[in-house]
A and B are shown apart, each in its own frame.
Chain A
Amino acid sequence: MPFAGTALNTVGLAFLTHAVYSTHEHTSLHPSTSTQKTPLPLDITLELLVSILILSTGIVLSSPSLKPIQWARWAGKIEREGRQSEGKWTREGEEVLSEGDPYAFLGLKGGKGSGEGRRGFWDVRGKRKEYADWVRAGGKN
């Protein structure tokens, strides 16, 4: 929700500036002396508190989302979503991608159905049987 966060930040900042300015005007028009203190009008106080609430909500919403810390959940998330753009670009114009599968270089995934990629298991006994059959058949082809 980057748009909502930015909108809330803008609105909150405007209200905050207005509230602080109003307080400044109020204190310069009614300076509080040592004998009596002039309290801040209720509307300025409310505006200030509401603007602070809006701004902190906006800051939380515009911050990057958290990442799961448990390995299983983190890996599952990467598996499901793949590598995505983080919305940032390097100075050379390359897109910054989110982190991917750290074991992708093993190539275990490529073998799914397509027959490519590294085999996780090589059937030794099957191959030996195949060879024995080939020898028994006379070693032809």
Chain B
Amino acid sequence: MNDERELAINPIVQTSVQHNTQVVSNIRNLTASLFGVAAGTLGLESYPGFIFYLIGTLIVSSLVFVFRAEGKPKEYFHQPLGDLWGGDVFSGLSSFVLTWTLFYGLVRA
């Protein structure tokens, strides 16, 4: 109820929300496969690889926070915690695993 009233007073532009979500998901997909290349080349196995991915996404989130959101995520994301810091983390995981195994096989095996 309170949230609804807040939205009535400060309306939100849907096209901007879509645009921002798409930008973040693009960045995530590109960097996820990049981290896969690094993890495979470093020869990480099992849990260290996933921890590497999580640390990488955290770094990318802070880069977006600094360079794209200019330190004010409230202005660009409806829920900064979910959309910026946690947005698309698990959808990037599949492309991470793909390039991880590929480069592990190419370079290490």
Q: Which residues of A contact B (CB under 8 A)?
A: 16, 19-20, 23-24, 27, 40, 45, 48-49, 52-53, 55-57, 59-61, 63-74, 99
Contacts and interface: CB of A to CB of B under 8 A. Distances in A.
Contact of B10 (A20, A27, A57, A71): A71
Given A56-B59, A60-B60, A71 B30 contact: no
A49 to B, nearest CB: 7
Contacts of B16: 66-69, 74
Contacts of B64: 60
Interface string B1-24: 000000000111101110110010
Interface in B20-44: 20, 23, 26-27, 30-31, 34-35, 37-38, 41-43
A40 B10 contact: no
Given A67-B20, A67-B76, A70-B12, 15 more contacts: A16-B37, A20-B37, A52-B35, A52-B56, A59-B27, A61-B67, A63-B26, A64-B23, A66-B76, A67-B19, A69-B16, A71-B11, A72-B10, A73-B75, A74-B16
Contact of A40 (B42, B68, B69): B42
Contacts of B69: 66
Contacts of A71: 10-13
B107 A60 contact: no
Nearest to B66: A60
A69 B23 contact: no
Contacts of A40: 42-43
A45 B52 CA distance: 14
Nearest to B72: A68
